[in-house]
Amino acid sequence: MWQTDDAVGQDKNEIRSIHDLIGRDVHTKKYHCKACDAKSGKVYFSFRKDAVKRHLRMVHTKDQEVQCSSCLRYYKNANTRDEHQRRHCKAYKLQQKRTNASYVIPSLKK
């Protein structure tokens, strides 16, 4: 169950199943996001249902905000925070280098 934003035309407090927001075209066999249909007329399509589920979670859900432990900025959800850390957060990258440098690969004995 996911709480959807009000752009879908639903009350903000209404909880809907994520499956209610996934449609399927019987001719093309593509899945699509019904929330995008209602919001802007633009449609997110995919042949994979899991890709539409991921799109709904990342774009249309109101997850709890999470904080980057390195720079203390807040992000919409864990996915956006993790993406920030991998791409932009210098403190996180430095921490990862230290962690990887301290790890010693055990040698293989023959």
Question: Mind listing the pLDDT tens digit for each residue in 53-80?
Answer: 888 887 877 767 889 888 888 888 888 8
Q: What angle do CA 34, 59, 48 make, to 5 degrees?
A: 60
- Write down the domain spans for the chain: 2-60, 66-102
- Higher pLDDT: 16 or 42? It is 42
Is a pLDDT exceeding 50 seen at residue 46?
Answer: yes
CA dist., res. 61 & res. 29, Å (int): 25
- What is the pTM for the complete model shown? 0.51
- The pLDDT score that the predictor gives to residue 97 is 76
Does residue 89 carry a pLDDT above 50?
yes
- CB contact set of 66 (below 8 Å; sequence gap of 6+): 74, 75, 77, 78, 81
